[in-house]
């Protein structure tokens, strides 16, 4: 009975402890392929000013800091898009499914995109240090140089990603200002065109100049008319009404009256083409031009300030630690795996031993 009990205990020990530990040891020390790790550290800086009098918050240009940007970059590094870029540049699938790699460690040659992504994520580690705003990267491949090349390529595409963010800041977020400047410029051009058409139609450069010219003419005509009337009065004292000189003076006076009436009509009339009416239209056009000029200048100034602010928001990818080249294979961690396997197997052996002993006692 004791011999049977000893035999069962030994068999249980061999099956639950010795055999698993032996299989795991043989696999990891004989067949498991070495994996080499390359590491790098990066963070994102931003050329933000300490203070800005021009508030662009409502227009989407905000001082978000580098934390959110670097978390977005982390998501990009772990995305299928990054995997596709790496596969296009380095033929990553071919490396991970190399037949020289042991069967358990390598990627299946017919793996789906989802399986490929999961395998990639098991070989890439991306951790974010919130206190230091630092992103730590590591890649594990089956060749020490290739591990470094993977991280170099990730950093290259990360820089491209940051450049696209900068492009969005300098274009998309400034589109509002560009449109406003274009609208105000078009409105100003339209008013200037209207002014030129007005000047061409009525053949005047400025109504104020035309008014001064007419007033000068009217004053001159009135002076001439007064002089002619004075001559007429003095001549009537010695000449008859039918005298040629008197008739000539009256003709000159009538001509001056007609010309004076014509000039006064140019200043004020009920036809709508009087100079006073034209002056009103002219001043309206000029006021609109002045207003739209001020609006154009304000929009242009806002656009220039937005460009300057956007330039201060440019983001830069800073490499703190460039990708390293491993001196030795740190993975798989054979001693750790075997010791862990032995502890689990031993724990399981004791549990099963207690269960067997309990069952036998109640049998």
Is residue 231 predicted with pLDDT exceeding 50?
yes
Neighbours of 267 (CB within 10 A): 16
- pLDDT at res. 284: 78
By the 10 Å C-beta count (0-12 exposed, 13-18 middle, 19+ buried), 38 is classed as buried
Q: Which long-range contacts (CB under 8 A, 24 or more apart) does 23-27 make?
A: 24/337, 24/338, 24/341, 25/338, 27/104
Query: Cα separation of 208 and 23, whole Å?
Result: 106
Q: Which of 145-154, 244-253, 271-280, 308-317 bottoms out in mean pLDDT, i.e. has the lowest?
A: 271-280
Is the pLDDT higher at 43 or at 63?
A: 43
Q: Which of 137-151, 220-234, 249-263, 266-280 bottoms out in mean pLDDT, i.e. has the lowest?
A: 266-280
- pLDDT at res. 263: 60
Q: What is the pLDDT of residues 102-148, one digit of tens each?
A: 888 999 989 999 999 999 999 999 999 888 889 999 999 999 999 99
pLDDT > 90: what percent of the chain? 29
Is the pLDDT higher at 26 or at 224?
A: 26
Is the pLDDT higher at 150 or at 169?
A: 150
188 alpha carbon, distance to own chain's centre: 29
- pLDDT at res. 328: 87
Mean pLDDT of 38-63: 59
Q: Which helix (H) or strand (E) holds 232?
A: helix 207-236
By the 10 Å C-beta count (0-12 exposed, 13-18 middle, 19+ buried), 261 is classed as exposed
Mean pLDDT of 168-196: 80
- pLDDT at res. 38: 95
- pLDDT at res. 60: 42
- pLDDT at res. 185: 87
Query: Cα separation of 108 and 21, whole Å?
Result: 26
Q: What is the pLDDT of residues 197-218, one digit of tens each?
A: 876 776 665 555 555 665 666 6
Q: Are 116 and 22 in contact (CB under 8 A)?
A: no
pTM for the full predicted model: 0.62
Q: What is the pLDDT of residues 48-57, one digit of tens each?
A: 544 444 444 4
Q: Which of 7-16, 23-32, 53-62, 308-317 bottoms out in mean pLDDT, i.e. has the lowest?
A: 53-62
* Contact partners, residue 272, CB within 8 Å, separation at least 6: none
Q: Which of 75-79, 266-270, 338-342 bottoms out in mean pLDDT, i.e. has the lowest?
A: 266-270
- pLDDT at res. 248: 78
- pLDDT at res. 61: 40
Output DSSP code: residue 101: S
Average pLDDT for the chain? 79
- pLDDT at res. 151: 96
Q: How far is CA 362 from CA 5, 9, 106, in A?
A: 15, 17, 49
């Amino acid at each position: 009975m004791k011999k049977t009990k000893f035999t069962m205990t030994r068999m249980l020990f061999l099956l639950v402890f010795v055999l698993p530990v032996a299989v795991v040891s043989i696999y990891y020390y004989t067949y498991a392929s070495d994996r080499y790790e390359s590491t790098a550290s990066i963070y994102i800086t931003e050329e933000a000013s300490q203070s800005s009098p021009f508030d662009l918050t409502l227009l989407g240009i905000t001082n978000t800091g580098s934390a959110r940007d670097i978390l977005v970059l982390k998501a990009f590094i772990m995305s299928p898009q990054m995997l596709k870029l790496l596969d296009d540049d380095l033929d990553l699938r071919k490396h991970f499914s190399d037949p020289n790699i042991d069967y358990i460690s390598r990627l299946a040659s017919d793996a789906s995109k989802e399986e490929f992504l999961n395998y990639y994520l098991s070989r890439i580690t991306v951790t974010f240090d919130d206190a230091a705003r630092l992103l730590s990267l590591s890649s594990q491949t089956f060749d020490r140089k290739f591990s470094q090349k993977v991280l170099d390529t990730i950093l290259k595409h990360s820089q491209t990603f940051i450049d696209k963010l900068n492009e969005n800041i300098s274009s998309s977020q400034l589109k509002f200002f560009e449109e406003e400047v274009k609208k105000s410029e078009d409105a100003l051009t339209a008013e200037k065109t209207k002014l030129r058409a007005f000047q061409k139609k009525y053949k005047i450069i400025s109504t104020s100049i035309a008014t001064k010219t007419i007033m000068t003419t009217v004053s001159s005509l009135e002076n001439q008319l007064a002089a002619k009337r004075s001559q007429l009065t003095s001549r009537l004292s010695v000449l008859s009404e039918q005298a040629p000189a008197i008739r000539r003076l009256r003709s000159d006076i009538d001509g001056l009256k007609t010309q004076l009436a014509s000039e006064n009509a140019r200043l004020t009339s009920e036809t709508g083409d009087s100079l006073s009416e034209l002056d009103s239209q002219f001043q309206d056009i000029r006021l609109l031009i002045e207003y739209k000029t001020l609006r154009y200048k304000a929009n242009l100034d806002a656009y220039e300030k937005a460009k300057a602010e956007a330039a201060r928001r440019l983001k830069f990818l800073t490499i703190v630690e460039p990708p390293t080249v491993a001196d030795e294979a740190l993975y798989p961690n054979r001693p750790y795996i075997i010791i862990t396997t032995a502890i689990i197997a031993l724990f399981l052996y004791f549990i099963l031993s207690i269960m067997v002993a309990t069952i036998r006692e109640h049998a």
